[in-house]
Structure 1
Amino acid sequence: MIRHYQASLEQKYSGACIVKVAIFGGSGVVGRALLEHLMKENIPAVALARRAPDLLGANFVSLDLLDPKQCENVVKTHLHDVTHVVYAALFEQPGLISGWQDDQQMQTNLTMLSNIMAPLKTVETLEHITLLQGTKAYGAHIAPMRIPGREREPRHPHNNFYWLQEDLLNAEAARQGWRFTIWRPQIIFGHALNAPMNLLAALGVYAALQAHQGSSLAYPGGPSGVMEAIDANLLARAICFAWSHPGFDNETFNITNGDVFTMEDIWPVLNDLFNLEPGPVEPQLLAATCYDREAIWSDIVSQHKLKPYTIRQVVGDSFFYADALLNARGSAPPPPSVLSTIKLRKAGFSDCIDTEDMLRNWFGKLQSMKILPSPAR
């Protein structure tokens, strides 16, 4: 069977012998998108997480990365022949934002990677590891970042679990002979249940609640700054592209859709998608105003025959994330957060997508999946 996959996939991926992919954090926004992409491409993949992804036919193994014994057993039982690892797992404290500079949260994220890295050293077939970081690598969460953020810059002088994980990966890859690629995506748009940073779900549930109550779609944020997004599907394609292109070996890459936006400027797209009248600017904390509207959401689920998820199941902690991105507490626009993707283009990956098109695609998908209601026209 392994030789069969090697033969069929060598041709598709220009010589890369992709036999089996392990996705840690396989139920998250990135992991789920990658898993779905690999399933469509008939590439064997296993999702590992505490919760199963809501993806029909997914090969799923339950795993708590804080349990080293369980990590060892899972590798022996399910990953002895894995060739590519994608580490997209993440620990976030409840409430999200306060944990970003918390030392214990940083150590927890390091421990999770270390616990699975130890038994992976026994896997002789392992070739490549993908690690996810993000814009916080440029210190954008604590101070105005240099524009644009470039991968060649020295590490921003702040404590970050990214550096702890990166140092561990560098050391183990050198010892084991593994190749690796580190990704720094901008704001990721995709689908996952119970995710801590899923802006798509937060905006969709807020719009659905407003529509059901006959309200306009009031803009809930403060003055908006210039941002970039990344479609989770585009990121999934880039991750796979890197496996078979040596220019990506042992390198770090920013990735974005290719355009910029502000939250206020994309708001008319949401008005159109949910068939809502534009509303006034009404700054509010969605984390304070939306979680307790569960009874209204239950009516929406019943009326539109949606999957029986609660608001918390659909959104996770993402209303806290939305409040930060919407600058709900701000009186002036936040500093811009813009990344250079020149290194990525020079390495050969040039896929892009218009952010407004991405929003239409994803909201349409969530409506077809019966996660969000389709608006009356």
Structure 2
Amino acid sequence: MTNKVLVAGASGLVGEAAVRRFAARPGWKVVGVSRRVPEDAGNTAFHSIDLTDAVASRELFGKMGDVTHLVYAALQETPGLFEGWLDETNIERNALMLRNLFDPLSEVATGLRHISLLHGTKAYGVHHPSLGYDGLRIPLRERDPRREHRNFYFDQESYLREKQVHGTWQMTVFRPTVIYGEAAGNNMNPLLPIAVYGALLREEGRPLDHPAGSLEPWLREAVHADLVADALSWAATSPAAAGGTYNLTNGDVFTWAGVWPAIARTLGMPLGEPREVSLREELPRRRREWAAIVAKYGLASSPDVMELVGYNSLVYTDNMMRGAPAGQPVPALNSTVAVRHAGFGACIDTEDMFVELLQRLEAKRVIPPAGSS
């Protein structure tokens, strides 16, 4: 049986990893859509499209009658990131994007069998000022009642549930925690800001300082973009995944104090001290220095540091580097028991994830190799 997966948001953190994962599966065809077409598209068919454009969307997706699977990981954020999570216009925009894609697709893709919808931990409402941590149970469990608040996640899911009444396809919803991966120019990828920050310090002959005023032992979670892609691949053909909603993490917890020495070693740098630095202020000031590094080492990455890391990723990383957020009594840890019981047991040590991903960036010449300066 021929399988063809449509990956929406294919240049994003999850989408890029999903394209690679499905393209590696025998018997699968992959088509990716995003506003930006990746430079290294390989043999995958890509289409550049703005999903807020209903006319262009109908023209494109109305011709995709052979799609059997959909991974919806498309997302639009506003500059500054956090304010946009509460903005009604941004909420409606993201709901509209899914409708613009799926309305025409559902009319022609009569062989559609499965949809994976990408959401995240914000589904639990911890980001929303009307909710916060009042009444929240830790760990976060998918089975707990929804804490009602305005969230495009809910609009998207409700829309697809209504469509499903007249369809024969199944759906799985994923809620990954903070995702780390290789994709450039994204909204919420802390890996590239960390890697570029390290490269800039190393070029100065400085140690790898941690960009926070202190290193508190605050427990955190992460998930490798490739692990999310593996979960999407599993869900596409697993009957046990049908109808499920699943948190995703690497399977462990970490502290910055615990993983920072391994990050320094991988970058070939001595370990520094906590030193409060705002990456969203520091990296834009060092555009010329980054461009010089790219030229000096013949890197394959963009000489424009902001194009490489993405402004919103700097905002996001600054937030991730801080200690316990004000008003947060306990870490917002996710239970991953449900997805394991359903049959997906992949996991990775988070320290190993940082080492692996940084080594990939070096091998792909996105950052200078360890030991160079």
Shorter-normalised TM range: over 0.9
Call closer, same or farther: CA 1:37–1:278 in 2, change over 3 Å. same
Q: Is 1:40–2:24 an aligned residue pair?
A: yes
Q: 2 CA distance for matches of 1:271 and 1:254?
A: 30
- Residue identity matched to 1:207: G
Given the alignment, which residue of 100, 105, 119 partners 2:104? 119
Q: Is 1:352–2:352 an aligned residue pair?
A: no
Alignment of 1:97-246 (within 5 A): 97-122=82-107, 123-142=109-128, 143-144=132-133, 145-221=136-212, 222=214, 223=216, 225-246=218-239
- Residue identity matched to 1:228: E
Alignment of 1:51-70 (within 5 A): 51-57=36-42, 58-70=44-56
1:21 corresponds in structure 2 to: 5
Q: Which runs of 5+ in 2 are unaligned?
A: none
- Residue identity matched to 2:156: Q
Call closer, same or farther: CA 1:127–1:224 in 2, change over 3 Å. same
- Residue identity matched to 2:62: K
Shift of 1:97: 1.7
1:3 corresponds in structure 2 to: none
Given the alignment, which residue of 267, 290, 299 partners 1:274? 267
SS at 2:209 equivalent: strand
Question: Normalising by structure 1, what TM-score?
Answer: 0.91
Q: CA RMSD in A?
A: 1.8
Q: 2 CA distance for matches of 1:248 and 1:329?
A: 34
Q: 2 CA distance for matches of 1:332 and 1:165?
A: 29
SS at 1:290 equivalent: helix
SS at 1:357 equivalent: helix
Shift of 1:372: 1.3
2:337 corresponds in structure 1 to: 342
Contact 2:34 2:47 in 1 (8 A): yes
Deviation track 1:232-267 (CA, whole Å, cap 9, x = no partner) reads 111111111112221211110111111001223211
Q: 2 CA distance for matches of 1:328 and 1:101?
A: 23
Q: Is 1:76–2:62 an aligned residue pair?
A: yes
Runs of 4+ in 1 over 6 A off after TM superposition: 331-334
SS at 1:235 equivalent: helix
SS at 2:117 equivalent: strand
Contact 2:5 2:68 in 1 (8 A): yes
Shift of 1:274: 1.1
- Residue identity matched to 1:130: S
SS at 1:44 equivalent: strand
Contact 1:191 1:200 in 2 (8 A): yes
Seq. identity, %? 37
Contact 2:218 2:323 in 1 (8 A): no
How many residues were matched structurally?
Answer: 360
Q: 1 CA distance for matches of 2:38 and 2:137?
A: 37
